[in-house]
Structure 1
Amino acid sequence: MANERMKPVASLILLLNFCMFAIVLGISGWAMNRAINHGFIIGPELSLPAHFSPIYFPMGNAATGFFVTFSLIAGVVGIGSITAGSNHLRAWSADSLPSAVSVAAISWSLTLLAMGFAWKEIDLHIRNAKLRTMEAFIIILSVTQLLYIVVILGSFARRV
């Protein structure tokens, strides 16, 4: 039997995660757009600079490209996790639990990967305010996504 008292807690965490994933998607989309618009353009002679990186971002440091790319992927999968989680909240049954937990676990693992690049970016120091905001949101999301998984799994644990 599912613990109905945990349903409002799960829905609050899901709403918080939705807002934060939407902000991460907005900032990482802005950074990706800026990198595409201001990136390196190969001229007619097709010569690359000595230290060319295909993941070049005009703002930030050497870890910014990886951080933004994986944050964008984590944000999209996180929104998918929100979709499966809202379906689970509507049904609140053991039948909808596996899909919600599996997508949330995948989203959490990708968020952890982005968090690792966020820590590397913090370690390298050079970044702007938008990237600092996205770093903070990714670090917070890694905790709240794990908390969401614990809440929905704990509400369906059998009491023996």
Structure 2
Amino acid sequence: MAQTVGRNVAAPLLFLNLIMYLIVVGFASWCVNRYINGQTNHPSFGGNGATSFFLTFSMLAGVVGVVSKLAGGSHIRAWRNDSLAAAGSSSLIAWALTALAFGFACKEINIGGHRGWRLRVLEAFIIILTFTQLLYLVLIHAGLFSSKYGPGYRDTDYGMGAAGVDPAHHKGGAAVVGSRV
């Protein structure tokens, strides 16, 4: 099967997003731990009224994002319609959660106050991931517009051989008759 434009661009973006989601999980888990312990006065933490919501959705977006990249890796490897369904739906959910975290990041930045470097890094990663995840989502669904870009939902021949060919005949012909031993 020939390499398609969508696959060639989506694969590096998938790897980049996986690394960024892992970093988000690391920073968000550190910040949640400090927040739960009541150590918001830590020099590298800080925060304001939107911090608890931002951390909750950042952690959730990070975990779902990592899992969606596993399904996406399987899709990039197979690059078929049936793998597109799993990769596309999990990526869409990851993007939606990342977009929610993005909204809370914007609110946290808008409120202001002291935010430590770890919170600012987490905000930056969420903002960047919102756009790179959307780009990845568009790339894996690009086959909807043309088969030049990848598999699409309109293809009707997946799981089937050539039209009119019996699948049993395709696997080796007639049934083998044997004796019981």
TM-score bracket, normalised by the shorter chain, equals 0.7 to 0.9
| Structure 2 residue 75 is the aligned partner of structure 1 residue 78 | no
How far the C-alpha of 1:89 sits from its partner, in A, is 0.7
Q: What are the within-5 Å matches in structure 2 for residues 94-109 of structure 1?
A: 94-109=81-96
Using the alignment, how far apart are the partners of 2:6 and 2:100 within structure 1? 28
Q: Tell me the secondary structure at the aligned position of residue 99 of structure 1.
A: helix
Match of 2:145 in 1: 157
Q: Mean Cα displacement is larger for which, 87-96 or 3-12?
A: 3-12
In 2, are the aligned partners of 1:2 and 1:93 still within 8 Å (CA)? Answer: no
Q: Deviations over 1:25-71 (max 9, x none)?
A: 111000111122236xxxxxxxxxxxxxxxxx552101001000110
In 2, are the aligned partners of 1:94 and 1:156 still within 8 Å (CA)? Answer: no
| CA separation of 1:150 and 1:2: change in aligned 2, threshold 3 A | farther
Match of 2:129 in 1: 141
Q: Tell me the secondary structure at the aligned position of residue 96 of structure 1.
A: helix
Match of 1:32 in 2: 32
Using the alignment, how far apart are the partners of 1:8 and 1:156 within structure 2? 16
Equivalent in 54, 58, 61 of residue 67 of structure 1 = 54
TM-score normalised by structure 1 residue count: 0.83
Using the alignment, how far apart are the partners of 1:18 and 1:100 within structure 2? 13
**Equivalent residue pairs, number:** 143
Which structure's CA Rg is the greater one?
A: 2
Using the alignment, how far apart are the partners of 2:68 and 2:31 within structure 1? 23
Q: Which amino acid aligns with 1:76?
A: V
Q: Which has the higher helix share?
A: 1
Residue segments in structure 1 that go unaligned for 5+ positions in a row: 40-56
Using the alignment, how far apart are the partners of 2:84 and 2:66 within structure 1? 17
Q: Tell me the secondary structure at the aligned position of residue 111 of structure 1.
A: helix
Using the alignment, how far apart are the partners of 1:63 and 1:5 within structure 2? 40
Using the alignment, how far apart are the partners of 1:99 and 1:115 within structure 2? 24
TM-score normalised by structure 2 residue count: 0.74
Q: Deviations over 1:76-133 (max 9, x none)?
A: 0001110110010111111110110000000000000000000000001121111111
The Cα RMSD (Å) is 2.0
Using the alignment, how far apart are the partners of 1:123 and 1:66 within structure 2? 14
Match of 2:14 in 1: 14
Residue segments in structure 2 that go unaligned for 5+ positions in a row: 148-181
